[in-house]
Each structure stands twice: as structure tokens, then as C-alpha cells.
Amino acid sequence: MVHWTAEEKQLITSIWSKVNVEECGAEALARLLIVYPWTQRFFSSFGNLSSPTAIIGNPKVRAHGRKVLSSFGEAVKNLDNIKNTYAKLSELHCEKLHVDPENFRLLGDILIIVLAAHFARDFTPACQFAWQKLVSVVAHALARKYH
């Protein structure tokens, strides 16, 4: 089980409470598709992904980004039980979606850059530490049921 100090939990929840899930989620997913274009392989049904502008404005990207980040919220609410929280999603990503877990790490790192852009100085090194740990734990949990 992951051990979180009280400070780490506080840093995570205090940032999360100010996150606009729709905006940040959309931005994180858009950046993933822009910065690492090969990740578009999972989204052939999303329509126009032909340029950064197209990706940023794409309503399916926005909606899916929001969905993904909302799900992240479950981890924040269940920091002491992330493994089980993501058990079903892990199976889904393996068996139905066939997503290489490396993509979870890529998205996690991008999310942190998005948070840094939004929170600026408030996204202190200590905050980043707690969040890097969180995204790593989430990525791990999502990969856990792969077979």
C-alpha cells in the first residue's frame, strides 16, 4: 500500500480543490495528442486531429479529457485505496482498449505541466513532488491488472 504523509495529502487535495476539471482535463488530453502524436492511435473515431488547433477545439477531445480527469478525482478521494479504485479500469484498458501503460505515464507528466501552467508559483516543488508521486501511483494501478 502506498504511504502518504499528511503533508502530501494536503498538497494534493488543496490543488485538486481548485482544479477546473473540464478545462484542465481537456487541456491535458489535447497536449498529450499534440506533444506525442502517436497517442492519436487510440482516437481514430474522434474526427479532426490534424493540427494543434483542430485538436484543442475538438469537442470529443474536450469531453474525453474531462472524463479522464474526473476519474483521476477518484484517486484523490481514495488516496489510501488507489489500487482497488482502479482495478476495473485497469482491466478495461488492457482487455478492451489495449492501451500501452507507458501512455499513463506520459499523460501523468503532461497533467503536471498543465497544473504548473495554471497554478504558477503555487505549484511549488513540494506540490510537484506530491503530484508526481500521485500520477505514478495512478499509472501503476492502471497497469496492475494487465495480462
Partner 1 sequence: MLTAEDKKLITQLWEKVAGHQEEFGSEALQRMFLSYPQTKTYFPHFDLHPGSEQVRGHGKKVAAALGNAVKSLDNLSQALSELSNLHAYNLRVDPVNFKLLAQCFQVVLAAHLGKDYSPEMHAAFDKFLSAVAAVLAEKYR
Report in angstroms how near the CB of residue 7 gets to partner 1 at its nearest: 13
Report in angstroms how near the CB of residue 14 gets to partner 1 at its nearest: 16
Residues whose CB falls within 8 Å of the CB of residue 141, separated by 6 or more in sequence, listed in order:
75, 82, 83, 85, 86, 87, 90
Binding mask 54-83 for partner 1 (x = CB under 8 A): -xx---------------------------
> Three-state SS across 9-41?
HHHHHHHHCCCCHHHHHHHHHHHHHHHCHHHHH
Q: Compute how many residues bind partner 1; rule: CB under 8 A.
A: 24
Q: Does 119 bind partner 1 (CB under 8 A)?
A: yes
Instruction: Tell me whether residue 95 or residue 102 sits nearer to partner 1 (CB atom).
Output: 102
